[in-house]
């Protein structure tokens, strides 16, 4: 393991690898895990794990060891699809989808759960907790079941039924908090502290980002070690986005690539705290940003895309920094555009995203419409969760099934209606 310690995203204070907390002891900011990249690069070159198609293929870049080898579930190693027909809808020639709905609990969150639970086991924890809009919780429950840990999940009361049922089926204790995701988050923080649980909550726990960054490593390898021009990421707390940016930065620090992609943030206009903050900072672009003084906006989120419905982004600073440093765009799309994007992705690619996971395609269309994206750019949209997690929302953008009698005439009438004379 080549982890060197931690660095605060806000005040840049560093802690040694022995530091046991999750937040900066100087200013309370989120912590980034740092490594000795020349050692990482050497180890990655020597690793000889060409056959391994999961996230532990990148163990040289990870701050944990696997408790069991092989890991009991296959996390990562998800497909990268070229989406030619979908891209054509916006005039793009090089569109790809990274389909992370193929993970065991059907979302990208499994990458974070895998690394955080390895860390939990290393620290001797037997109970793990998380606040979640739904996917982080069902993911934690899934991996806890596989690793024989107990999971306590805090979700907002109105989380989609499929996500709750997943978590319950995996045997987690699920607490549906009367209130928003932000209320669930605060309660999970105090309860985990009180009862001594290992808290996997997004943003707060620096190990989640380490799992999510592996998505960038896979894209790079799937593109035969090319760097895309843009990676478009749906954001609520901003942790997937900051993780994916970190992955590209680490490939560069390890000398494996020599340029970086732009990272675009896709949000619903009804939950756009990160987007608003990026636009506010860009208005003052003549000043260099002093990150220790940047505050991230808070909003009252109401989007239908429940996974990205967040009032106060818990990894907002890291995400805002990633968008600005990468030269990416921050885009807010309407909920209607997100729902249309679900159906379009499904119909033009065969990949069925949940609403949050369709936001990147809605954002790409907006950028293409405004000519802020070139038709030849190599663009990767991250499909962060499966459409099966929220069929009620997808149903709003599709026709209903035709109910017919069990007869051939009924089929004919339904599909080949007689034209009026």
Instruction: Annotate each residue in 104-123 with x if it binds ligand PLP (CB under 6 A) or - if it does not, as one string.
Output: ---x-x--------------
Q: Collapsing DSSP states into helix, strand and coil, what is residue 74? A: coil
Tokens of 176: 């549906």
Half-sphere exposure for 376 (CA within 13 Å, toward CB): 0
Residue 253 or 275 having the CB closest to ligand PLP: 275
- 214-243: contacts with ligand PLP (CB under 6 A): 234-241
How far is CA 134 from its chain centroid?
Answer: 13
Q: Collapsing DSSP states into helix, strand and coil, what is residue 63? A: coil
Stretch binding ligand PLP (CB under 6 A), from 60-68, 121-129, 354-362, 395-403: 354-362
Q: Minimum distance from CB of 31 to Zn ion (Å)?
A: 8
Q: Minimum distance from CB of 102 to Zn ion (Å)?
A: 37
Burial letters 191-217, b for 16+ CB under 10 A, else e: bbeeeebbbbbbbbbbbbbbbbbbbbb
The listed partner (Zn ion, ligand PLP, none) that binds 26, CB under 5 to 8 Å by sort, is: Zn ion
Under the binding rule (CB under 6 A), the answer on residue 307 touching ligand PLP is yes
Under the binding rule (CB under 5 A), the answer on residue 206 touching Zn ion is no
The listed partner (ligand PLP, Zn ion, none) that binds 234, CB under 5 to 8 Å by sort, is: ligand PLP
Stretch binding ligand PLP (CB under 6 A), from 20-28, 325-333, 353-361, 391-399: 353-361
Stretch binding Zn ion (CB under 5 A), from 3-11, 73-81, 318-326, 328-336: 3-11
State how far the Cα of 13 lies from the Cα of 29, in Å rounded to an integer. Answer: 10
Residue 332 or 357 having the CB closest to ligand PLP: 357
Stretch binding Zn ion (CB under 5 A), from 15-23, 29-37, 60-68, 379-387: 29-37
φ, ψ (nearest 5 deg) of residue 23: -125, 160
Tokens of 381: 């949209």
Q: Minimum distance from CB of 255 to ligand PLP (Å)?
A: 28
Half-sphere exposure for 298 (CA within 13 Å, toward CB): 4
Cβ proximity of 181 and 133 under 8 Å: yes
Under the binding rule (CB under 6 A), the answer on residue 166 touching ligand PLP is no
Under the binding rule (CB under 6 A), the answer on residue 335 touching ligand PLP is no
Instruction: Using alpha carbons, list the distances in angstroms from residue 38 to 186, 206, 252.
Output: 39, 22, 11
> How many C-beta neighbours within 10 Å does residue 43 have?
16
Residue 13 or 73 having the CB closest to Zn ion: 13
> What is the phi-psi region of residue 400: left when phi exceeds 0, alpha when psi lies from -120 to 50, beta otherwise?
beta
Q: Minimum distance from CB of 23 to Zn ion (Å)?
A: 8
* Binding footprint of ligand PLP on the chain (CB under 6 A): 107, 109, 133, 135-136, 202, 234-241, 307-308, 354, 356-357, 384-385
């Amino acid at each position: 393991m080549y982890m060197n310690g931690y660095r605060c995203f806000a005040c840049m204070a560093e802690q040694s690898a022995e530091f046991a907390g999750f937040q900066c002891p100087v200013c309370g900011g989120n912590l980034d895990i740092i490594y000795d990249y020349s050692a990482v690069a050497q180890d990655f070159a020597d690793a000889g794990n060409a056959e391994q198609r999961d996230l532990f293929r990148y163990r040289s870049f990870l701050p944990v060891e696997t408790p069991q080898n092989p890991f009991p579930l296959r996390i990562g190693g998800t497909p990268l699809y070229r989406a030619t027909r979908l891209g054509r809808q916006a005039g793009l020639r090089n569109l790809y989808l990274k389909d992370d709905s193929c993970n065991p609990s059907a979302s990208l969150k499994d990458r974070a759960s895998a690394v955080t639970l390895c860390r939990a086991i290393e620290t001797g924890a037997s109970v793990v907790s998380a606040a979640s809009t739904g996917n982080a919780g069902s993911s934690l429950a899934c991996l806890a079941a596989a690793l024989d840990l107990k999971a306590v999940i805090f979700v907002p009361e109105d989380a989609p039924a499929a996500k709750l049922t997943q978590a319950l089926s995996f045997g987690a204790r699920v607490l549906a908090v009367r209130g928003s995701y932000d209320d669930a988050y605060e309660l999970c923080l105090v309860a985990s502290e009180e009862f001594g649980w290992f808290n996997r909550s997004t943003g707060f726990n620096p190990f989640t980002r380490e799992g999510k960054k592996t998505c960038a490593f896979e894209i790079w390898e799937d593109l035969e070690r090319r760097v895309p021009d843009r990676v478009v990421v749906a954001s609520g707390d901003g942790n997937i986005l900051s993780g994916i940016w970190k992955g590209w930065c680490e490939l560069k620090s390890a000398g494996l690539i020599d340029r970086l992609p732009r990272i675009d943030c896709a949000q619903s206009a009804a939950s756009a705290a990160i987007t608003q903050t990026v636009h506010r900072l860009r208005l003052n672009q003549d000043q260099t940003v002093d990150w220790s003084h940047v505050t991230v906006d808070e909003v009252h989120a109401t989007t239908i895309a429940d996974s990205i419905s967040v009032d106060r982004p818990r990894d907002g600073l890291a995400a805002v920094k990633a968008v600005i440093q990468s030269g990416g765009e921050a885009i807010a799309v309407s909920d209607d555009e997100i729902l249309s994007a679900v159906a379009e992705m499904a119909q033009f690619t065969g990949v069925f995203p949940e609403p949050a996971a369709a936001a990147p395609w809605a954002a790409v269309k907006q950028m293409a419409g405004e000519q802020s994206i070139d038709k030849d750019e190599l663009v990767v949209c991250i499909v962060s969760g499966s459409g099966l997690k929220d069929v009620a929302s997808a149903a709003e953008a599709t026709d209903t099934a035709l109910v017919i009698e069990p007869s051939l005439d009924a089929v004919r009438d339904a599909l080949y209606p007689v034209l009026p004379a």
